Amino acid sequence: MQNTSIKVVGLQKSYKQLQVLKGVDFEVEKGSIFALLGSNGAGKTTVVKILTTLLKQDSGTAIVNGFDVASKPENVRQAISLTGQFAAVDEILTGRENLIMIAKLRYLKNPRQVADDLLIRFGLTDAADRRASTYSGGMRRRLDIALSLVGKPQIIFLDEPTTGLDPEARIEVWKIVKELADGGTTVLLTTQYLEEAEQLADRIAILHEGKIIASGTLSDLKKLFPSAKVEYVEKQPTLEEIFLAIVGKKEGK
């Protein structure tokens, strides 16, 4: 339990008639990268919103950093940050001003220093004094992630951190995420990109039709999928093949 950052048991959520989560269970170990994988509309953002206290579940429990999200939301909020699916950057402000604003909102002692450090770390120093509206998609995403690191949260949630980025910018974000986890931060990210989960995640969970239908390390998932033998050469399945096989199988029922 000491090593568990996030524990989700039997999570259910409906929007009116639409039951999106039908009993979701998973655990995330401290300092690890956990990828929640699912198609459009699978409920990834719904899970993230519940875990970040923005939305209440109908039933089931979610413990984040030792606190129940439903009964102790303030404690949860102190330990986390969220980079939403749609950027939270203020376009009118410069990159530096965005960072300083958040540092002030978090009552940090030295907002300018905090901003400078993050600008360096995210390679945004040269663009620091330009309005964020002039940033490229990749720069904006980097600023967005930098904003979520103000105040050094223990757990960060990244909802589709690389959607819409070009391959180069995507690799940059991956590097940042890996560094975060190496430094002991727990990362829960959602993605539709199987390659992203394959590259980054210590553990992967596939959310489909309201449940986690498969989870584990990449090699655990590969074991679920018998390797095809072609002329004595073993072919390792890609995560994409595993995903399609599992999702396809469930739908076929």
Ligand X SMILES: Nc1ncnc2c1ncn2[C@@H]1O[C@H](COP(=O)(O)OP(=O)(O)OP(=O)(O)O)[C@@H](O)[C@H]1O
Residue with smaller CB distance to ligand X, 50 or 181: 50
- Residue 32 phi, psi (nearest 5): -105, 170
In the complex with Mg ion, the residue whose CB is nearer, 99 or 201, is 201
CB of 163 to ligand X, least distance (A): 8
Burial tier of 179 (Cβ tally within 10 Å: 0-12, 13-18, 19+): exposed
Nearest to 186 by CA among 88, 47, 37, 81: 81
Q: What does the binding site for ligand X look like in residue numbers (CB under 6 A)? A: 15, 18, 20, 38, 40-46, 85, 192
- Smallest gap from Cβ 35 to Mg ion, in A, equals 13
Of the pair 48, 155, the CB lying nearest ligand X is at 48
191 binds Mg ion (CB under 5 A): no
Work out what residue 20 binds among Mg ion, ligand X, none; the CB cut-off runs from 5 to 8 Å by kind.
Answer: ligand X
- Tell me how far, at minimum, the Cβ of 106 lies from ligand X, in Å: 27
Task: Note whether 45 binds Mg ion by CB under 5 A.
Answer: yes
H helices of 28-182, in order, are: 44-51, 73-79, 95-105, 111-121, 137-149, 167-182
Using alpha carbons, list the distances in angstroms from residue 117 to 80, 87, 123, 210, 235: 20, 21, 10, 41, 45
Residue 101 one-letter amino acid: M
Q: Which option in Mg ion, ligand X, none does residue 9 bind, with CB closer than 5 to 8 A by kind?
A: none
Instruction: Specify the 3-state DSSP secondary structure of 81.
Output: strand
Would you give the distance in Å from CA 222 to the centre of its chain?
22
5 binds Mg ion (CB under 5 A): no
Least separation in angstroms between residue 15's CB and ligand X is 3
Site for Mg ion in 72-101 (CB under 5 A): 85
